[in-house]
Structure 1
Amino acid sequence: MKSTFTLLLLVALTLNLGCIQTNTVPIKIKLNLEKEYTKSISKNDFWVKNQIEEQSLDVKTDSIIEHYYDITIDIENVGEKDLYIWMMSCSWYNNFKINNNYIYFYNPKGGCDSNIPELKKIESKSKITIHGTVRKSLKFDYPAKNTVYGEQVKLTKVGLIITDDIYKYKYKDFSEYNLFMEDKSKQNLIWSNGINLLTD
């Protein structure tokens, strides 16, 4: 009786482990810091002025110092089959999430002339690399008066939003893609490694 029970238990565990492996998306995300730099910007700049007003920032000088980070994001297919992911042609950062509230994606161009969902193919054992920029929130360098920030999430990670079957994509038009992006319950996130951008 014991041997039969043990055998059934082993079979159940094996099947369960098999399901876990089957459901694992064969995508690896690697976040790399390429360059770190700062910019001095007048506090009368439209965006800066808006941030000061919205967050009640305490800026005592005529300009502020912004922290920027040039990054690359490697999306690697570690599986045995080619796969496909959807990504916006210009605002690709809309297909990612960041795991904290002090780092934000930044588009140096300021906008997009043409921006549509594109299907990107990643062959087996290969990768695509995205070049981008993020910046640090001003609230840490210019906190509102009498404001003390507690401990923050130390490492910055980016999460790729998977919006379709990676092997048999089913979207027929842009409206289906947009509808899926609006339904957060259907999104599958794959997180990258972490890098420390919370430095003084």
Structure 2
Amino acid sequence: MPERTIAHYHQHAKHYQAQYNSVPAEEVHGDWAHLLAGRTQGQALDVGAGSGRDALWLSTLGWAVTAAEPAQRLRELGEQATGKRVRWVDARLPSLSSLAGPSGGYDLIILSAVWMHLPASERPLALQRLSRLLANTGLLIITLRFGPSDPARPMFPVSTAELNALARDTGLQMQLINTQASHDRLKRADVSWQTALLQHQTEPQA
């Protein structure tokens, strides 16, 4: 992830904390939260955890949550918000090199509003690393943002076709949670989202 982007989130941490927290996690993730029903609440990883909103939500559901956030001030605010309920680490994509996952992998990994910040050249390495961190039966949730970039925090084009191809190359299978792009929860008319579920392949792919 570009240093410029991380520096922007660090410098404007209070703004983004207020923005993220203005919409409840249950609303933001309502299109896939049902996937957690009936699953054992194990180890969860929130990559690019921002204000800690999603990490705190998962912890209230019974998950043991690790939050990875490279922007220092945003991470500090997140730690204040979640207290000891969440373990915070300074780690960034694509390598997440400072993150040591549990021996069996994470049962749930989420990347909410993160993938578009990775240049296309970094995405294969990022997905390979996430695949290694994901438990054999774990769920990897990635949200894809469609809309204009922000010069202060560059956003790179994403597509479901690109993510699906990368998933296959990495030994993962992908399915879209919402086949049609959904509206932006912050009511930005030019921004929409799709959510992808990735899992380890259970059968050889043709």
Q: Same fold (TM over 0.5)?
A: no
TM-score norm. by structure 2 comes to 0.20
Structure showing the higher helix proportion among its residues:
2
User: Per chain length, whose mean CA-contact separation is higher, i.e. which structure has more relative contact order (CA < 8 Å, sep 6+)?
Assistant: 1
Give the strand-richer structure, 1 or 2: 1
TM-score normalised per structure 1: 0.21
